[in-house]
Amino acid sequence: MWLLEIVDLSASIGNKQVLKNFNLKIGSGETHALFGPNGTGKTTLLNVIAGIPRYRVDGGRIVFKGKDITNMSMDERARLGIGMAFQRPPAIRGLRLKDLIRIINPKADVLAILKKMDFAAFAERDVNRGFSGGEVKRSEMVQLLAQQPDFVMLDEPDSGVDLENIKLIGDAINSLTQKDRRPSSRTKSGIIITHFGHILEYMKADRAHVMLGGSIVCSGNPGEILAQIKRSGYEGCAGCMCQT
């Protein structure tokens, strides 16, 4: 059974159609990487799966754990097991990071999670307020480690992160997607947007896709696809016509 199944999905924001007959299937225990130039609809895809109301679904459906979630509210989707690391999350005045962790998961071991991301010094800080680009990414990972979603969506988790911390982020992703376990015992899945693929040196992805113009144009082994992009650009992927 697929954990996530997206069928002929079309979606728009404002008057602009961004996703066109988009199809994707992600199985239990699988992590997929998503490549593509700016403006091709990668972030939109994640936002539509998360259920952000600004995005309108014009056709098709999203099925998660066998349930059609196309019209489900954001918080219901989150409680069903979908988690997302935002690319540019807002700051929340007066809400301390440690309090948010407790709100997300009252049973979470707050200190252990913060320490795992070398982020204990930020426990008392307002969420994302005055955080640098790299700190924002660690804040996102800390929250996801508390949430423990079954399906995690990561929108450029490596952008702005220095070399010291990129491994921490990679480890956290591996933990969220259970890459630290035997393949047969993995149940959690994920999708990750990355521009340059640096993060893939620190985490394991099972499959990769290239998006162009709102649809997937090529799918395959992450290493091979990345090499192909480096060799002949995204346009080269369009010509390869690998089936999804």
Partner 1 sequence: MHVSDIEEKARRAREKRALYGTDVDLQSYESEAKPQNIVEKAEELPGIVKEAALDVGVKLDAESSGAYVQMDQTPVVAKSLYEGVEIMDIASALKKYDYLQDYWWKLVAPDADKYTADVATSPPAGYFIRAKKGMKTVFPVKSCLYLGSTNLNQRVHNVIIAEEGSELHVITGCTTPAHVQRGLHIGVSEFFIQKNARVSFTMVHSWGKEVEVRPRTGISIAEGGSLSNNYILLRPVKTIQTFPTATLAGRGAVASFNTVVYSTMGNIDIGSNVILNAPETSAESISRVVSVGGEVIARGRMTGRVPGARAHLECVGLLLSEKGRIYSIPELDGQSRDLDMSHEAAVGRISEEELEYLMARGLTTEEATSVIVRGFLDVEIKGLPEDLKQEIKNITQREDLKGS
**Binding region for partner 1 (CB under 8 A):** 50, 52-54, 73-75, 78-79, 83-84, 86, 89-90, 92-95, 100, 103-104, 126, 143, 147
If the CB atoms of residues 91 and 242 are measured against partner 1, the closer one turns out to be 91
The least distance separating partner 1 from the CB of residue 234, rounded to whole angstroms, comes to 28
Nearer to partner 1 by Cβ, of 81 and 236: the residue is 81
The distance of closest approach from Cβ of residue 77 to partner 1 in the complex, given in angstroms and rounded to an integer, is: 8
Of residues 31 and 143, the one with the C-beta less far from partner 1:
143
Give CA separation, 112 vs 23, 98, 105, 169, 240, in Å: 38, 11, 13, 15, 45
Q: At a CB cut-off of 8 Å and minimum separation 6, what does 138 contact?
A: 117, 118, 119, 122, 161, 165, 168, 169
Q: How far apart are CA 173 and CA 85, in angstroms?
A: 11
Nearer to partner 1, 136 or 166 (CB): 136
Find the largest Cα–Cα distance for the chain: 51
In whole angstroms, the minimum distance from the beta carbon of 93 to partner 1 comes to 5
Least distance from partner 1 to the Cβ atom of residue 139, Å: 11
Q: From its phi and psi, is residue 148 left (phi > 0), alpha (psi between -120 and 50) or beta?
A: left
Paired tokens of 65: 């754990």
